[in-house]
Structure 1
Amino acid sequence: METLLTKVQLRPLGRSDLSVSPLGLGCWQFSRGSGIVGRYWSNLTDDDILEIVRVSLTGGMNWVDTAEIYGGGKSEQALAQVLDRLKQEGSPHAAPLIATKWWPLLRTAGSITATIDERIACLGGREIDLYQIHQPFSLSSIASEMKAMAGLVAAGKIRYVGVSNYSVKQMTEAHRILKTYGLTLVSNQVKYNLLHRSIEQNGTMDAAKELGISIIAYSPLQQGILTGRFHQDPSQIASVSRIRRMQSGLDEGSMNRSRPLIDCLSGLAGKYGVTPGQVALNWLIHYHGDTVVAIPGASKVRHARENIGAMAFRLSREELELLNEVSWSALKK
């Protein structure tokens, strides 16, 4: 069966030999409702997770992103289990590229080396293609962290190094230090979408382009706002957890400011026969060329289908610029 993977143009992840689909599957929602971070999402069943992963990989995604803090390894374990099942079924999509992250809170760089075997075990012994420092706030220096990560590459434990939530200064320093080990910083995973564009104002995007570092955009739909569903039916806001409402811009003022953008997304969606969320994702992965890739999550199979459908068309340059202008207008109000 022909899949989107045969049609999607893969792109290099940073200056590595990893070729990835513009969208990968974010796996935060596989945390089994465990831990502070995991409780952000409802608990999905094994069958839910299997079908979400199956649809995502069969549909064209060739990489997944998870983390130690997502349920204390439970997201990694859930992912490994469904990949095992796909392998048993003989699926040709049972071996995606895997990105995961080390959690630095109240830890030193020594923990990077000490816990890597646990990460690999949670992933069922699979190779870690991209290992990322999840946040820039460990008890050690960036130099110590990058030394530890370089050691893991040399030991064959991981293939490439990335970071997450690093400022332009921190990202540039990490890149400089890795170069002394003959390595390059492949990626910086940050929040980025049409309603959250701070990396374009603080120098992070420009530096990433200059250094050949990929931006991995998380929360690419601003927790669902860019799908338009909350504007279409505001009563749905009541079903969103309080913490998500506080962080996502679901208050009345923010919703009013973002409405022109949602209207623009909806208009383009009608033209292409897609959804507003798919238009928002398409803008994200094309506006800056190949620099930005994104990791939308999916807590339902239909979300997975919508995600892969966002790679099946391409906005024109004029349409990309229109969304750029309407987006900045909404953010400046």
Structure 2
Amino acid sequence: MTYRADPARYGAMSYRRCGKSGLKLPAISLGLWQNFGGTRDYPSAFEILGYAFDNGITHFDLANNYGPPPGSSEELFGQVLARDFRPYRDEMIISTKAGYHMWDGPYGEFGSRKYLLASLDQSLKRMGLDYVDIFYSHRYDPETPLEETMGALAHAVRSGRALYVGISSYPEHETREAHRILKEMGVALTIHQPSYSVLNRWIEDDKTIDACGELGIGMIAFSPLAQGVLSGKYNRGKKEGTRAGDTHSTLRESHIEPRVLDAVEKLGPIAEKRGQSMVQLALSWVLRRDEMTSALVGVRTLDQLRDNLGVLKNLELTVEEIAAIDQATAGGLMELHPRPSGWLR
């Protein structure tokens, strides 16, 4: 049966301008990290992807190493594009990244021109695309000159392989430098993708979010639910059927230690008073900042996606609610900071 997108798909979604660019993103974007790899069959993948697009999610976020195994998320999404989404390509924002380990040898990770452009070509081939809408440097590389990394991003735009470029997990100083270098090359730094949640506020602590607002760089938060912790499903030490029991998960024990889970439990009454799920409260909090263009969610099931989309019914938080959230989470913040090799947890 041929897929036909819902004619009313743009009715309920809110679209936000990405910094000072001409690009708009949906308030909720869908990431294909962990849940759309080799273990996902086509029918269950398209059930989620099709529902997302039918409900106004136009932005699908990938990376070269998403899976598992690495590359399989792009391959699966490429199949969906070829079989069902192809007529709607120009209505979609498709992004990918390079920075983490992808192949053996000295050219298979980090920020060299060799690696970034080779990886982009491989990503395009896996997805069956001529270009991506956004290409990211997935992490800062302290051993490669930032001019080289940003030069590779600029070349991706000039060669027609990407329409926009971004960075992910760059601290404040490196964000400013990346913006300056690209501007001198005549290419805009359009977007920054950091981890950000009510329990993970590093971009506030080191002023990265303020820098992006000042420079006109859009922002899209990954892990806005702290890898599911903010759904409340880990409370009381529950692990069965969650990422904590998944050998491929990056969730650490420090994410579900008692002080963190105590903070999550304290958020419950605030969500209930607002008529929201815990997930919806957490997404409302991330999207409260003007600098934040979109929240990037990852889902395993259609019900989870529906829950995420429910936030659109009540995005506004009062000053009193924000203060109550800050008080509830004061003792449970995660100690997360960007590091070249990954994240300190």
TM-score (norm 1): 0.85
Any conservation in 2 of the 1:15–1:184 contact (CA below 8 Å)?
no
CA distance in 2, matches of 1:82, 1:59: 17
Matched residue SS, 1:191:
coil
Q: 3-state DSSP class of the match of 1:295?
A: strand
Question: What are the equivalent positions in structure 2 for 1:21-40 lying under 5 Å apart?
Answer: 21-30=26-35, 32-33=37-38
Q: Answer yes or no: is the 8 Å Cα contact 1:222–1:248 preserved in 2.
A: no
Q: 1:129 to 1:93 in 2, by over 3 A?
A: closer
Tell me if 1:208 matches 2:204. no
Give ranges in structure 2 of 5+ residues lacking alignment: 1-5, 336-345
Q: Write out per-residue CA displacement over residues 96-137 of structure 1, whole angstroms, 9 at most, x where no aligned residue.
A: 201110235543212323343322121212531110011112
Q: Which position in structure 2 is the counterpart of 1:275?
A: 277
* TM-score, normalised relative to structure 2: 0.82
- Give the corresponding residue for 1:9: 14
Q: Where does residue 96 of structure 2 map in the other structure?
A: 100
SS at match of 2:149: helix
- In structure 2, the partner of 1:37 is none
Superposed CA offset, 1:196-224 (max 9, x none): 11111112112111111222211111111
Q: 1:255/1:58 Cα in 2 relative to 1: closer, same or farther (>3 Å)?
A: farther
Residue of structure 1 aligned with 2:51, choices 27, 48, 55: 55
Q: Distance in 2 between matches of 1:304 and 1:189?
A: 20
Cα deviation for residue 185 of structure 1 reads 1.1
Check 1:2–1:315 CA distance in 2 against 1; reply closer, same or farther (3 A cut). farther
Q: Gapped runs of 5+ residues in structure 1?
A: 34-42
Structure-2 residue corresponding to 1:75:
73
Give me the identity figure in percent.
Answer: 27
**Contact 1:51/1:301 (8 A) holds in 2:** yes
Three-state SS of the structure 2 residue aligned to 1:60 is coil
Contact preservation (8 Å) 2:286, 2:292: no
- The aligned counterpart of 1:306 is 307
Residues 9 and 332 (structure 1 numbering): CA distance in 2 closer, same or farther, change over 3 Å? closer
**1 CA distance for matches of 2:128 and 2:141?**
28
Taking the aligned partners of 2:100 and 2:168, their CA distance within structure 1 comes to 11
Report how many aligned residue pairs link the two structures: 318
Amino acid paired to 1:140: T
Q: CA deviation at 1:328?
A: 3.1
Superposition pairs of residues 1-333 of structure 1, within 5 angstroms = 3=8, 5-30=10-35, 32-33=37-38, 43-70=39-66, 71-87=69-85, 95-103=91-99, 105=101, 106-107=106-107, 108-137=112-141, 140-231=144-235, 234=238, 236=240, 240-241=245-246, 244=249, 247=252, 249-251=254-256, 254-264=257-267, 266-286=268-288, 288-318=289-319, 319-331=321-333
Report how far residue 2 of structure 1 moved.
6.3
